[in-house]
Structure 1
Amino acid sequence: MSDLLRLRPTRRHLLATGAAAGALGLAGLRPAAAAVDWKKHAGTTLEVNLIKGPRGEVLNRHAAEFTALTGIKVSSELIPEQQQRQKIVIELTSGRPSFDVVHLSYHVQKRQFDKAGWLADLSGYMKNPAMTEPSLTEADFSAAGLTYARTPNGEMRSLPLSVDYFILYYNKELFQKKNLAVPATFDDMMRAAETLTDPKAGTYGFVGRGLRNANMAFWGALFLNHGGEFLDARGNILTDGPEAVEATKYYQRLLSKTAPPGVVGFNWMESMAAFTQGRAAMWIDGVGWAPPLEDPNASRVVGKVGYAVVPKGPAGQFSATYGDGIGVAQASTKKEAAYLYCQWAVSKLMGGRLLQIGGGVPFRDSILNDGEVQSGLKMPREWLDSAIGSAKISKLGLPVVVPVAEFRDIVGAAVTATLSGADPATELKKATDQYRPILERSEKA
């Protein structure tokens, strides 16, 4: 077995990293009681549907604390992400879901849930001091979180739970050997990547997602910083314009010239493996992938990893943002009790736990900037700073549409084709022409 495969972080390892949150002590971090009647629904049992992963694991592991606080019993079901997405849509479509509380992936399901009206409006609960502790306000959520949680008419149909900002990971040791500074612009990043690429030594300047569909998360980060907007004011897709073409040319050059062989088949896991092996000097991906990089059992670059906000592009500086939320099923007969669970899930206590082990970044600015939470951070301070900085420049990294999977498949295939030499403008036009009627049909449905 090659070194690359032997040290490749597994999904089990990542979940175990999140599970470590159970051992964290956050003395003094408890949901503020204020005037909230936490015991109002004591004796109720809630059915909670969670995505299996660091965020869902933390909520499930500490559910007994919620029960102690409220007297509400919790029955949690944790399901792997792809299966969970399919299951909840089937159940919500039926009108008789088996759950009261649901964990949703905003970047995939936002538009679908809004159109269908599957989630209860939480706006009234948030304004009610008998239901909501004072620090939980809309203003405390980042702009991206509010964009995800609000419907077009301003209703809060979920609470933003955890955000995944795309940041720049870099190998300090490789940069120091070449006496290079952390790139401040896309031009700097390209020059550094080319300078740091040495195939004879087995090191490359950059690694990133080249695999169709998966690559849209990384490509989106380049697209936004080239001035791209996914949709115009009428909802028309804009992936064949000059901004998209220039972003794809940059992507093509970066991964074709400075990435390891086989990058066309890389998802986040293969990219992480190359970076943790010390074979790649830079990597742009989600902030939540950091814990394995600092784990000596999974990484050869422990103590050598730098974290920074994404460099400034030709048309601005944005962090492509993805995330998940938690909401109450419209069909639930236990909406108030379910809302109390959602409020607990996004509390300082739970968000602080998640942040401290690097398993996720809360959407709430007050948690990110809290000194008590920061004092217990298990990750390097640079990592937290990159998250705080990214929150200020966050922008949604995928279009808010129902057929997101089709978008990622079709446009992703076009972008991947350029790594084999295909012309970006030609490929993007074909992909956009193919996708446009799919999007139009979904909006008319």
Structure 2
Amino acid sequence: MKMVQRFKMLSALLLVFVLVLAGCGTSGGGNGGSSETNAGDQAANQSAANKSDNKKEFEGVTLTLATVNNPDMKIMQKLTPVFEEQTGIKVNYVVLPENDLRKQVTMDVSSGAGKFDIVTIGTYDTPIWAKNGWIENMDPYLSNMSDEEKQAYDLEDIFPSIRDALSYDNHLYAIPFNAESSILYYNKEKLAKAGVEIPKNPTWEQVAEAARQVKAANNEPGIIIRGLPGWGEMLAPVNTIINAFGGRWYDENWNAQLDSPETVAAIQFYVDLLAAAGQPGATTTGFTEALTLMQQGKAAMWYDATTAAGFLEDPKVSTIAGKVGYALAPSQAKDNNGWLWSWALGIEASSKNKEAAFKFVTWATSKEYIQLVGESEGWVVVPGGTRKSTYENENYKKAAPFADITLEAMNSTNYKEPSLKPVPYVGIQYVAIPEFQQLGTEVSQDIAAAIAGSKTVEQAMKDAQARAERVAVDGGYKK
């Protein structure tokens, strides 16, 4: 509510300022001064009128937004009263864990129930949902913006690779709120205590050896990697390990490859690393749990999303701020293994408040919003990965020691060629077919069984292979 009060105060001051200017303009200055002041009066009055019209247009509209419970979205929820004050639109949030969000939102959009107006979706979901007609094409809404609105919003400022990943048939269907690759974080103090150094471009073997040494020196986890089952949880980092080891989900002819020597070796490495140096209870560790462990200084390294960097460097929530080192996603047989992802905002096709929803989507993904987060919450936690201007902003560059490596990681990803060997799909940490949401979750459960010791890695991947092969056949991919 402090932000709302601040906005009201600024609005009042602006009104007083406009009235003062109006008084000066009619008191008889020189012709040049009088002309400029009158032009300023007219612009200010028109701006105030536009805001009034916008508020009148949407007054009483309530939007329902489904989103994940990650830190960036919590900040968005906190700052939403600013948007509500500007527009008269009320925004209700339905905040869910990542796996639950995907289930509920998919059910809602596929049935056309219209429970949500705005949905938080990613690069995997967007093209599939667009093809099914579940979400709105953003291009007509963007085209209908005024020239002034287009200039302020600056769509071209958003990285082309992210816009491309959120498009279908050359049309944009969701707008990125944040975007990410993956990097390796490490606690400098814990590594120094163990006498270990991590290069900027480590191999997975180097990381594993460092994790074992650090665990021995500190008597706590040497590394955290997600183990919570879910195609968007465990499989996000695990698929990049598969790619690094030269594995893949399918060959060019849609023959499943999950029991190939390369893929089995990658999963065996992952299971062994967690057993030797990972966090206890790995199968209950998702992104949120891993972030908390790292913030609290309870592990030496963590391999995960670049979006976590700001929350590790924020002294308000992290005990290791200023102690974090960064390395690119580890390589093995293949280099450049960072993933590409965006949490984006889409509008349900069944929403009854599409214009109001677009108003919110463009507010929450704007330069204005990034400025608001920087000034109110700190530049270190502004949503990253989406806009070129963010990485040119001196305030952000000064606050974010991870800016350069994040940008490098983002620029080195290629979601159209994720593996060492050719594949018939796109997506680095996922396979961009509709069936992957179920398939990936089931395969992650097989791998979780191997982590827990109830299956061998060989048996787990044999079961996973059968699932993947069945999807290729039943889905008509394999001819």
Fold-level match, TM-score > 0.5?
yes
Offset, 1:438: 4.2
2:463 maps to 430
Structure 1 CA distance for aligned equivalents of residues 270 and 159 of structure 2: 28
Does the CA contact (< 8 Å) of 2:224 and 2:290 recur in 1?
yes
**Aligned with 2:94: secondary structure?**
strand
The CA deviation string for residues 5-48 of structure 1, in whole angstroms up to 9 with x for no partner, is xxxxxxxxxxxxxx9999999x9xxxxx99xx875685123524
Please say if residues 391 and 397 of structure 2, whose CA atoms lie closer than 8 Å, have aligned partners that are also in contact. no
Structure-2 residue corresponding to 1:163: 179
Structure 1 position 118 matched with structure 2 position 150:
no
Residues 296, 125 of structure 1: CA spacing in aligned structure 2 closer, same or farther, 3 A cutoff? closer
1:147-186 equivalences under 5 Å are 147-151=164-168, 153-183=169-199, 184-186=201-203
> What one-letter code is carried by the residue in structure 1 that aligns with 2:465?
T
Q: Which runs of structure 2 are paired with 1:198-237 in the superposition (5 Å)?
A: 198=216, 201-213=218-230, 214-230=233-249
Matched, 1:348 2:380: no
Where 1:50 maps in the other structure, the secondary structure is strand
Matched, 1:321 2:340: yes
What TM-score do the two structures reach when normalised by structure 2? 0.71
Contact 2:183 / 2:305 at 8 angstroms: preserved in 1? yes
CA separation of 1:230 and 1:107: change in aligned 2, threshold 3 A = farther
Deviation at 1:118, TM superposition (A): 1.2
- Per the alignment, residue 109 of structure 2 pairs with 92
Structure 2 counterpart of 1:43: 57
Q: Percent identity?
A: 19
Q: Any conservation in 2 of the 1:144–1:321 contact (CA below 8 Å)?
A: no
- The answer as to whether partners of 1:91 and 1:98 remain within 8 angstroms in 2 is yes
- CA spacing shift, 1:262–1:125, aligned 2, 3 Å: closer
The counterpart of 1:369, out of the listed 367, 391, 405, is 391
Instruction: Kindly indicate whether the alpha-carbon contact (under 8 Å) linking 1:309 and 1:319 is maintained by their aligned counterparts in 2.
Output: yes
Aligned residue type for 1:328: I
Whole-Å separation in 1 of the counterparts to 2:262 and 2:325: 29
Q: Distance in 2 between matches of 1:203 and 1:230?
A: 34
Counterpart code for 2:306: V
Post-superposition offset of 1:327 = 2.0
| Separation (CA, whole Å) in 1 of partners of 2:373 and 2:246 | 33
Which segments of 5 or more consecutive residues in structure 2 lack a partner in the other structure?
Answer: 11-45, 416-427
Question: Are the equivalent residues in 2 in contact too, given 1:403–1:439 (CA < 8 A)?
Answer: no
Q: As a proportion of its length, which structure holds more helix?
A: 2
Question: What amino acid does structure 1 have at the position aligned with 2:129?
Answer: F
Given that 2:228 and 2:282 are in contact with CA atoms closer than 8 Å, whether structure 1 keeps it comes out as yes
Report whether the alignment pairs 1:140 with 2:157: yes
Contact 2:137 2:173 in 1 (8 A): yes
1:406 aligns with 2:434: no
Question: Which region of structure 1 is more displaced relative to structure 2, 287-296 or 177-186?
Answer: 287-296
Partner of 1:195: 213
The amino acid across from 2:212 in the alignment is E
- Kindly tell me the number of residue pairs found equivalent between the two proteins: 411
SS of residue matched to 1:169: strand
Residue range with higher mean Cα deviation, 291-300 or 320-329? 291-300
1:6 is matched with none
Q: Which has the higher contact order (CA 8 A, sep 6+)?
A: 1
Contact 2:223–2:302 (8 Å) recurs in 1: yes
2:467 is aligned with what amino acid? Q
Q: Give the 3-state SS of the residue equivalent to 1:369 in structure 2.
A: helix
Question: Which residue of structure 2 lines up, in the alignment, with residue 385 of structure 1?
Answer: 404
Q: In the TM superposition, what whole-angstrom CA distance separates every residue of 1:105-142 from its partner, at most 9, and x where no partner exists?
A: 21663354134211121223434562652365665334
Indicate conservation of the 8 Å contact 2:179/2:386, yes or no: no
Shift in alpha-carbon separation, 1:225–1:42, aligned structure 2, 3 A? farther
Could you tell me which runs of 5 or more consecutive residues in structure 1 were left unpaired when the two chains were aligned.
1-18, 28-32
TM, length-normalised to structure 1: 0.76
Change in Cα spacing, 1:66 to 1:296, as seen in structure 2 (3 Å) is closer
Contact 2:4 2:85 in 1 (8 A): no
- Are 2:297 and 1:283 aligned? no
Q: Residues 48-67 of structure 1 correspond to what in structure 2 (within 5 A)? A: 48-51=64-67, 53=69, 54-66=71-83
| Distance in 2 of aligned mates of 1:224 and 1:401 | 18
1:68-124 superposed Cα distances (whole Å, 9 cap, x missing partner): 65x45233333324554444444434435144x412221663354134211121223
Do the aligned partners of 1:60 and 1:76 also contact (CA within 8 Å) in 2?
no
- In 2 relative to 1, CA 343–440 (structure 1 residues): closer, same or farther, beyond 3 Å? farther
Are the aligned partners of 1:170 and 1:307 in contact in 2 as well (CA < 8 Å)? yes
